[in-house]
């Protein structure tokens, strides 16, 4: 599973296939970044955007903060965070795909952005010391992990007491057809690895987070999910043909806090 995800996003890093635009798109990120944010970003980061939301909008970032971006990809949210925390702050982008890390580092270097560092690593084993971060963000990545509980434990570990978690992610609204659930392409496309709201928030609570709040839910339409699966080997199977795929998944924005004690 991890190898399929790494290959999928490695190929994305070599292309310019963004889902980020000013209109609605199947990945759900359309319209979630303001025009001013898009214009302020390096175009190379926008070119490989693959998120389903904008976690920086709910992260309450302030100058001087230390931010960790889990699954930073081409760096779009890391670069936005770097602008918000300013030269006295720092952003660490963590990604397991070498091609994405190399591309993000190149973009940072060419854009002269000095308060961001991209590190190769798995979000289940974050290559940072405990208690270093004021905020942990993630955009449409935790659903890709086969061990979401471990991801939240690691996010909790790297946060300082009182630190904040802000994520955008795909969550199940109802059970997926078995044909989609078993499909590796659908997993890499942030669909079949998704879990229910109860399971997702339960994993956050088990990791120790408190004050968990669902900030927003956007349920995907049949057309959006169909577009997600258009490259899947199951897309034209008789079992899926004619099936209504509405109301199966949604893009969530969730915040939580590591207790001060």
Homologous superfamily in CATH for domain 2-257: Vaccinia Virus protein VP39 (3.40.50.150)
Strands (E), the chain: 66-70, 90-95, 116-120, 133-139, 159-172, 210-219, 249-257
Residue ranges per structural domain of the chain? 2-257
Q: Which strand (E) or helix (H) includes residue 44?
A: helix 43-46
C-alpha–C-alpha distance, residues 239 and 83, integer Å = 47
pLDDT in tens, 36-65: 888 888 777 776 776 788 999 999 999 999
**For the whole model, what pTM was predicted?**
0.83
C-alpha–C-alpha distance, residues 55 and 215, integer Å = 10
C-alpha–C-alpha distance, residues 113 and 89, integer Å = 12
pLDDT in tens, 229-252: 665 555 555 555 556 666 778 889
pLDDT in tens, 71-89: 999 999 999 999 999 999 9
């Amino acid at each position: 599973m991890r190898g399929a995800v790494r290959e999928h996003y490695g190929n994305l890093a070599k292309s310019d296939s963004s889902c980020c635009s000013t209109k609605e798109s199947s990945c759900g990120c359309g319209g979630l970044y303001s025009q001013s944010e898009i214009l302020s970003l390096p175009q190379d980061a926008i070119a490989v955007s693959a998120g389903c939301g904008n976690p920086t909008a709910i992260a309450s970032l302030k100058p001087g903060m230390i931010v960790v971006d889990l699954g930073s990809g081409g760096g779009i949210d890391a670069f936005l965070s770097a602008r918000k925390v300013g030269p006295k702050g720092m952003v660490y982008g963590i990604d397991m795909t070498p091609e994405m890390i190399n591309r993000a580092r190149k973009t940072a270097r060419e854009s002269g952005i000095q308060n961001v560092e991209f590190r190769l690593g798995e979000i289940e084993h974050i290559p940072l010391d405990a208690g270093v971060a004021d905020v942990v963000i993630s955009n449409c990545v935790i659903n890709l992990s086969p061990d979401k509980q471990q991801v939240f434990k690691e996010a909790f570990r790297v946060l300082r007491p009182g630190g904040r978690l802000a994520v955008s992610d795909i969550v199940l609204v109802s059970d997926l057809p078995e044909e989609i659930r078993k499909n590796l392409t659908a997993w890499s496309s942030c669909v079949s690895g998704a879990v229910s709201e109860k399971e997702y928030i339960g994993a956050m609570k088990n990791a120790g987070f408190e004050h968990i709040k669902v900030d927003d839910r956007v349920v995907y339409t049949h057309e959006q999910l169909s577009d997600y699966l258009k490259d899947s080997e199951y897309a034209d199977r008789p079992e899926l043909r004619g099936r209504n795929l509405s109301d199966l998944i949604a893009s969530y924005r969730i915040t939580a806090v590591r207790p001060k004690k």
